[in-house]
């Protein structure tokens, strides 16, 4: 009951904070309907083929027509299957960034290389493998131990990570958490630090699940180096997402006016991991302005008295591609992301 209440409260905050126009609300509602219908179709197909519903089976939307019959190979993708329920969204109120876009792009690449994909959620460890796969692509190291015995020996295994190596993240988080508490004379434990401590408790299993992969794919220049002690590590470069609905005014005078305005987009709820406390330390009392498009934890608001700072603008959640989103990026000259885990 408490979980349901917290979910309702968060969704209500998201809705109020987004500040959508009436057409945008209608667009979002239509896409929610598309999401539900797509989920129903994929779930029904999976039920008939496997007896399970939390999966997308036989995805081949981007398969070249010239690849047929025995030329088609199979890949099991253990990452984020819900992203595919959003693939048919319409209108401006859709975006394929981060966890929405990465799974779609990854599976599209596999399709184009001749792989038909079965897709399940990263932590769906109850899925029963009923066929042979040429590729096993996974995001959580624990998945290797669970699924490897069910795969044929010839299956190529690929581990995919979007942040730095977990020990690096843990060390960075611990350092930031300790420094924050030392400066503020507090005893706060970052929520993500607690999560990484739980990973540390099963470190042998986690490291074994990474090291056993035939290949390790890591996103971004800043994070790939933390995996140097592993073999067969490959970097995926950052990418830009085009927006056909918006064109930024690149007038030199306007760009000069905006050079003191910085935008912080922080997904997740752990402000210390994302470095928001460091930004507030730097911006408060300076001539620069910080626009925060993120949830801010209560203790951060209280300690830094954000509501009293004229150059700190607490925007809250902003939906990408909305008019509110465009207004904010129009006045900001830079995006700043001092995360201790992710790269850019």
Q: What is the pLDDT of residue 34?
A: 97
Closest-CA residue to 236 (of 264, 208, 207, 215): 215
Cβ(338)–Cβ(282) under 8 Å? no
List, for residues 2-61, the tens digit of each pLDDT value: 666 666 766 676 677 788 899 999 999 999 999 999 999 999 999 999 999 999 999 999
Q: What is the pLDDT of residue 280?
A: 96
Three-class secondary structure of residue 59 per DSSP: strand
Q: Which helix (H) or strand (E) segment is 218 a member of? A: strand 215-219
In the block, which residue shows the tokens 């993120």? Answer: 294
> What pTM did the predictor assign?
0.91
Cβ(211)–Cβ(230) under 8 Å? yes
List, for residues 181-212, the tens digit of each pLDDT value: 999 999 998 889 999 999 999 999 999 999 99
Give the separation between CA 29 and CA 157, rounded to whole angstroms.
Answer: 39
* Average pLDDT value for residue range 211-217: 97
Q: Cβ of 113: how many Cβ atoms within 10 Å?
A: 14
Q: What is the pLDDT of residue 238?
A: 75
Q: What is the pLDDT of residue 7?
A: 65
Q: What is the DSSP string of 102-121?
A: HHHHHHHHHHHTTEEEEEEE
Report the DSSP beta bridge partners of residue 176.
none
List, for residues 254-304, the tens digit of each pLDDT value: 778 889 999 998 877 799 999 999 999 999 999 999 999 998 999 999 999
Q: What is the pLDDT of residue 205?
A: 95
Q: What is the DSSP string of 130-152?
A: -S--SEEEESSTHHHHHHGGGS-
Q: What is the pLDDT of residue 84?
A: 96
Give the separation between CA 114 and CA 307, rounded to whole angstroms.
Answer: 54
List, for residues 68-107, the tens digit of each pLDDT value: 999 999 999 999 999 999 999 999 888 777 888 899 999 9
DSSP 242: -
Phi, psi of 296, deg, nearest 5: -120, 125
Q: Cβ of 220: how many Cβ atoms within 10 Å?
A: 18
Give the separation between CA 144 and CA 148, rounded to whole angstroms.
Answer: 5
Give the separation between CA 118 and CA 59, rounded to whole angstroms.
Answer: 6
Q: What is the pLDDT of residue 137?
A: 98
Report the DSSP beta bridge partners of residue 334.
262
Q: What is the pLDDT of residue 222?
A: 78
Evaluated on CA atoms 227, 198, 10, 121, the torsion sign reads positive
Three-class secondary structure of residue 167 per DSSP: helix
Phi-psi region of 119 (alpha: psi -120 to 50; beta: other; left: phi over 0): beta
Phi, psi of 99, deg, nearest 5: -70, -15
Give the separation between CA 139 and CA 149, rounded to whole angstroms.
Answer: 17
Burial bucket for residue 334 (CB in 10 Å: 0-12, 13-18, 19+): exposed
The radius of gyration computed from the CA coordinates of the chain, to the nearest angstrom, equals: 22
């Amino acid at each position: 009951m408490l979980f349901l209440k917290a979910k309702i409260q968060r969704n209500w905050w998201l809705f109020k904070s987004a500040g959508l126009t009436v057409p945008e609300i209608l667009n979002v509602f239509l896409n929610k309907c598309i999401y539900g219908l797509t989920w129903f179709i994929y779930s029904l197909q999976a039920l008939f083929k496997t007896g399970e519903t939390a999966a997308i089976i036989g995805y081949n939307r981007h398969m070249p027509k010239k690849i047929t019959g025995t030329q088609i190979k199979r890949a099991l993708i253990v990452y984020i299957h819900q992203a595919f329920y959003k693939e048919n969204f319409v209108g401006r109120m859709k975006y394929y960034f981060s966890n929405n876009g990465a799974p779609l792009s990854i599976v599209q690449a596999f399709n184009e290389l001749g792989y038909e994909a079965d897709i399940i959620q990263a932590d769906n460890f109850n899925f029963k493998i009923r066929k042979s796969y040429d590729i096993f692509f996974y995001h959580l190291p624990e998945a290797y131990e669970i699924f490897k015995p069910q795969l044929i020996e010839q299956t190529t295994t690929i581990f995919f990570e979007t942040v730095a190596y977990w020990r690096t993240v843990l060390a960075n988080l611990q350092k930031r958490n300790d420094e924050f508490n030392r400066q503020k004379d507090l005893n706060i434990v970052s929520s993500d630090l607690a999560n990484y401590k739980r990973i540390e408790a099963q470190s042998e299993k986690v490291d074994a699940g990474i090291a056993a992969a035939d290949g390790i794919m890591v996103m971004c220049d800043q994070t790939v180096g933390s995996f140097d002690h592993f073999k067969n590590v490959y970097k995926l470069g950052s990418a830009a997402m085009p927006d056909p609905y918006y064109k930024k005014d690149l007038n030199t005078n306007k760009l000069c006016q905006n050079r003191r305005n910085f935008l912080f987009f922080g997904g997740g709820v752990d402000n210390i991991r994302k470095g928001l406390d460091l930004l507030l330390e730097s911006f408060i009392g300076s001539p620069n302005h910080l626009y925060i498009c993120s949830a801010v934890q209560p203790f951060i608001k209280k300690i830094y008295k954000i509501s009293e700072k004229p150059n700190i603008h607490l925007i809250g959640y902003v939906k990408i591609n909305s008019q509110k989103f465009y207004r904010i990026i129009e006045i900001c000259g830079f995006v700043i992301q001092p995360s201790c885990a992710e790269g850019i």
